[in-house]
């Protein structure tokens, strides 16, 4: 007869390796390309050295002075590791119903594992393109309800992320903050049945192609994403104090919102390559709408479009000789040129089941006929060469929105 002990054994010895592989290697090609590093995790932190400056390499005469460079410098950082969790839940009724049929039991656990992996992939990808703030919802212009720009249908997918009184910040796909007043906007009501939230103030009328709602207050629990290194302060560093390590932050500062198409992308890549000078990007990340704009532009000029198979079995095409991959979690109007070798997922260990005091991983929830297991990983994404990364922003991803 199948019991909770049987389920625990299956979670440990049958499903765990598959879950780890699916989360680490099938979530995003960029995450598949980067190193998973357990060597420099110390206690609750990861200690990282950001090296910069010019080495003493050059040409000279046989009897002349040796070349003198700027000298390699370094900044030692201690970055707290984040707590990444995933929960698996099964009811006692479902467990007993499947207890006499091994096939039904395997199907039950397999289905729950698929749900767990899908949820983990969704949340990790959301954090990947962020700057440590929690992404609460993504919506388009048609989500606004009839009472102006104050009520928004975020849908059942996001509605549970909101509570009345929550402070929000809202950005468009070009990275512009569009709440009014910009420093404060509260959730005044949440309707879980309709998926509609109402804000205390209307959002600014704006030529946005997509909207992103974030928590105004950073609680520090989210993983540092790619956008972290483009902040004024990142990993405890003030970029003004160390301009040599700042990434290439290419923005369109004109009054009109321009489209991020082939021409704009090429201008950005030219600026990026001139900025970095060495070790160019090995992957470009953007939103599907930007990918489509670039693809259509290439087709219109009858350019040769070469497909690219990326790490983890993902597919894209090459642009300016670099593989380009699109992801709906990437902010519309952004394009990233990244050197994946400069990033690492620093972790104490890989995904594992959280054990109870007696060593078991399934625990009955108090007052409920259900059992829960928790998947955990203590890690954070850290870049040790921010100056080799580039971001193109402040553009639109749709031609009709930029007119």
Does CATH place domain 1-51+71-128+223-403 in 3.40.50? no
In order of 19, 58, 139, 242, 392, the CA distances from 69 in angstroms are 48, 9, 50, 18, 31
The pLDDT > 70 percentage for the chain reads: 92
Task: Kindly state the helix (H) or strand (E) to which residue 94 belongs, with its residue range.
Answer: helix 92-97
d(CA 178, CA 202): 10
- Here the tokens at position 227 are 């956008």
Which residues, at least 6 apart from 347, have a Cβ–Cβ distance to it below 8 Å? Answer: 36, 37, 38, 41, 81, 377, 378, 379, 380
User: What is the per-residue pLDDT for 277?
Assistant: 82
Strand-pair partners of 151: 198
Helices (H) and strands (E) counted in the chain, each on its own, are 8, 24
Contact 236, 76 (CB under 8 A): no
355-395: per-residue pLDDT in tens?
A: 988 888 999 888 889 989 999 999 999 999 999 999 999 88
**How far apart, in whole angstroms, are the C-alpha atoms of residue 289 and residue 219?**
31
Could you tell me which residue, 49 or 336, shows the higher pLDDT?
336
181-221: pLDDT as tens digits:
556 788 999 999 999 999 988 888 776 778 999 887 766 78
Residue 3 — very low, low, confident or very high, per pLDDT cuts 50/70/90?
confident
**Interatomic CA distance for residues 392 and 249, integer angstroms:** 6
Tell me the HSE value of 322 on the side-chain side, using a 13 A CA sphere.
24
Confidence at 63, pLDDT banded by 50, 70, 90: confident
| pLDDT score of 133 | 83
Strands (E) across 200-293 are located at 211-215, 233-234, 237-238, 248-251, 283-286
As a whole number, the mean pLDDT across the chain is 86
What's residue 218's pLDDT?
A: 67
The Cα–Cα gap between 214 and 133 comes to 7
Quote the distance between the C-alpha of residue 19 and its chain's center: 19
Give the integer Cα–Cα distance in Å for 381 and 82.
9
Residues whose CB is less than 8 angstroms from the CB of residue 368 and which lie 6 or more positions away in sequence, other chains included: none
Chain centre to alpha carbon of residue 222? 10
Q: What is the pLDDT of residues 274-330, one digit of tens each?
A: 998 876 899 999 999 999 988 888 888 777 788 888 888 899 899 989 999 999 999
Q: Give the separation between CA 44 and CA 21, rounded to whole angstroms.
A: 24
Cα gap 26→373, rounded to integer Å: 22
Cβ pair 322, 281 in contact under 8 A: yes
Band the pLDDT of 1: cuts 50, 70, 90: low
Task: Classify burial at 135, counting beta carbons within 10 Å of its beta carbon; exposed 0-12, middle 13-18, buried 19 or more.
Answer: buried
Q: Which two tokens stand for residue 333?
A: 């109007």
Read off the pLDDT of residues 252-278 as tens digits, 9 standing for 90 and up. 888 778 888 889 999 999 999 999 887
Percent of the chain with pLDDT over 90: 40
Q: What is the pLDDT of residues 305-317, one digit of tens each?
A: 888 888 888 998 9
User: In this structure, are strands 135-139 and 151-153 parallel, antiparallel, or unpaired?
Assistant: unpaired
What pLDDT is attached to residue 68?
65
Least confidently predicted of 22-31, 96-105, 132-141, 343-352: 96-105
pLDDT-derived band at 138 (thresholds 50, 70, 90) equals very high
More confident residue, 359 or 101: 359
Secondary structure (3-state) at 314: coil
Give dist(CA 346, CA 263) in Å, integer: 37
pLDDT tens digits, residue range 216-239? 776 678 899 999 999 999 998 888
Instruction: Retrieve residue 324's tokens.
Output: 């380009």
């Amino acid at each position: 007869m199948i019991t909770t002990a049987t389920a625990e054994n299956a979670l440990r010895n049958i499903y765990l390796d598959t879950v780890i592989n699916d989360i680490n290697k099938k979530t995003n090609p960029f995450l598949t390309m980067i190193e998973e590093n357990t060597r420099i995790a110390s206690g609750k932190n990861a200690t990282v050295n950001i090296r910069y400056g010019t080495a003493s390499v050059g040409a000279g005469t046989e009897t002349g002075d040796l070349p003198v460079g700027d000298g390699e410098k370094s900044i030692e950082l201690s970055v707290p590791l984040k707590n990444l969790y995933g929960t698996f839940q099964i009811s006692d009724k479902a467990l007993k119903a499947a207890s006499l049929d091994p096939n039904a039991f395997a199907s039950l656990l397999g289905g729950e594992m698929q749900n767990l992996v899908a949820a983990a992939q969704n949340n990790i990808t959301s954090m990947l393109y962020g700057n440590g703030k929690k992404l609460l919802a993504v919506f388009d212009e048609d989500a606004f309800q009839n009472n102006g720009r104050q009520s928004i249908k975020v849908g059942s997918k996001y509605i549970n992320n909101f509570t009345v009184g929550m402070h929000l910040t809202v950005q468009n796909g070009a990275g512009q903050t569009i709440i009014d007043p910009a420093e404060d906007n509260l959730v005044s009501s949440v309707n879980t049945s309709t998926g509609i939230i109402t804000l205390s103030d209307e959002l600014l009328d704006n030529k946005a192609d997509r909207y992103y709602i974030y928590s105004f207050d950073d609680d520090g629990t989210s993983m540092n994403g790619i956008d972290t290194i483009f902040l004024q302060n990142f990993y405890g560093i003030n970029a003004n104090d160390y301009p040599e390590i700042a990434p290439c932050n290419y923005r369109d500062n004109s009054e009109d919102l321009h489209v991020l198409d082939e021409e704009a992308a090429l201008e950005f890549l030219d600026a990026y390559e001139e900025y970095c000078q060495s070790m160019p990007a090995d992957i470009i990340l953007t939103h599907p709408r930007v990918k489509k704009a670039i693809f259509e532009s290439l087709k219109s000029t009858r350019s040769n479009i070469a497909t690219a198979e990326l790490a983890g079995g993902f597919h894209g095409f090459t642009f300016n000789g670099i593989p380009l991959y699109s992801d709906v979690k990437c902010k519309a109007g952004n394009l990233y040129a990244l050197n994946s070798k400069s990033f690492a997922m620093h972790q104490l260990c890989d995904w594992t089941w959280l054990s109870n005091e007696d060593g078991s991983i399934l625990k009955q929830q108090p007052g409920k006929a259900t059992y829960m297991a928790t998947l955990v990983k203590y890690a954070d994404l850290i870049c040790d060469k921010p100056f080799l990364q580039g971001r193109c922003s402040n553009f639109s991803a749709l031609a009709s929105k930029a007119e």
